[in-house]
Amino acid sequence: MEIRLIAADSSAVETECLVAIALDHGDKQKPVLKLAGKNTAAEQAIANLAASGEIAGKAGDAALLHNPQGLKARRLLIVCAGPAGGFNHVELRKAAGTALRFLKARSVRSCAFALPELGSGAEDAVRAIIEGAYVADFDPDTYRSDRKDQSMKETVVVVPPGTDSSRLQRALDQARIVGESQNFTRELVNEPSNRLTPTLLADRAKKMCDSVGLKCEIMGPDKIKQMKMGAFWSVAQGSDEEPRLIVMRYEPQGAPEKPMLGLIGKGITFDTGGISIKPSEGMEKMKYDMAGGAAMIGAMRAIALLKPNVKVISIVCATENMPSGKAQKPGDVQIAMSGKAIEIINTDAEGRLVLADGLHYARTLGCTHLIDAATLTGACVVALGMVNAGVFANDEDAYRHFTRALEKTGEKFWRLPLDSEYTDIIRSNIADIMNTGGRWGGASTAAAFLQEFVDDTPWVHLDIAGTAWMEEAKGWIAKGPSGIAVRTLVEWVKSYENSN
């Protein structure tokens, strides 16, 4: 998709479709729709549509007008972004995505957005439009034989004449990088496991790193065993597909030695549950169990291109979790890289095993702050549904950096508890800890397990099991992989750029 910025009167822009955002300034009994910007012709069109009852101001409402009077655009698309009092960059991102998917479905391949007035400023508005457009442009129909190219060819953001466009152009360029990186993550998550084995995931990561100037090291089973990553290897041993340890490094010249940020991702390219096998219903979706690792790969792509002045190492532990004569069994005891002994209670609690060695390895490489992402527990989905992802933290300053990142990205996370009692639940009689604490509080006992491998290193854990896959399409995003956490991971890293 080609994206560009132009400074002009939006009424005079020649385009296949001009997109205008409308806001409801009324109340529940009497909606009052007004344009979130300046365009007399569009404002009149919105008033006429509201008077006819065709749009009522609910977020996501849209109406398309052909040959609109007073505009040079061939069409005018009005998209409602809900109440004016709640309008922010999050709602604008969704509205932009709604516009793009509305037009794509009608074979419109070029559009221009009239820049709305946003309280946080024009730069945030530009970022929201471009990020929303990229998210909306993704479709998961990769292998359909009748697939048609429905991608938007051109998206233009129209800013008022006389605007200092240099700042807005930078915002647009940054948003393009983030949007492309989020979609790169979604492409990886969307791949079936026979076309994205651990080896192929590592190859894709290496190719990406080469293209953006990142250092990348790929290690196979011999190295994993040599480094005594017993927790990681215990999961990998049951599969005929070899595991891969992916290490990506972003080390800009002149960056301070500390902080060194560690991004660790769960890369289970297919999860059967192992000997503790999952029910067959819905198992096909378990190709998405590498979404945390894919988010790290996508985030590293964006970081390399945005060039924050902070050092980052990302580790993705990639393997399948399969039942076989070689697979680990409930009751086995595995020794992690850290030396901790783990009693295996359930082989389907495998994500925390690979992350345990990934987190410890990051610390041995010198990482001073850690963040991990994983489709880790069904318990988190039970607790939060498919609306919020879970977040845990052992350090308040690291968590404050994370919440500041959320304010910019609008991704939905909810903090869950990490009290010491959850650690007590996973104590083992035969080993140091068990890999599951039973049915109750499963998201917190999983986080407590991971905490055993970070000690006092500042650490944030993201459980994205309920939100990494959209079970149904929304107006602004297709059904399928969401790419959650990429935007927030990037902002979390950027937040440490001037922390010294």
Active site residues: 278, 352
Query: Facing residues of 79 across strands?
Result: 21, 62
Q: What is the DSSP secondary-structure string of 3-34?
A: EEEEES-GGG---S-EEEEEEE-S-SSS--EE
Nearest CA to 210 out of 142, 135, 301, 138 is that of 301
* Plot region of 254 (φ>0 → left; ψ -120 to 50 → alpha; else → beta): left
Structure tokens at 499: 């922390």
Q: How far is CA 60 from CA 6, 22, 33, 130, 487, in A?
A: 26, 10, 13, 17, 23
Q: How far is CA 130 from CA 5, 93, 127, in A?
A: 11, 8, 5
Rounded to whole angstroms, the Cα distance separating 73 from 112 reads 9
Write phi, then psi, for 408 (nearest 5 degrees). Answer: -85, -30
Within 328-484, strands assigned E span 333-335, 341-343, 369-374, 389-393, 413-415, 433-434, 459-463, 469-470, 480-481
- Ordered alpha helix ranges (H), 30-164: 40-52, 89-104, 122-137
Rounded to whole angstroms, the Cα distance separating 410 from 349 reads 30
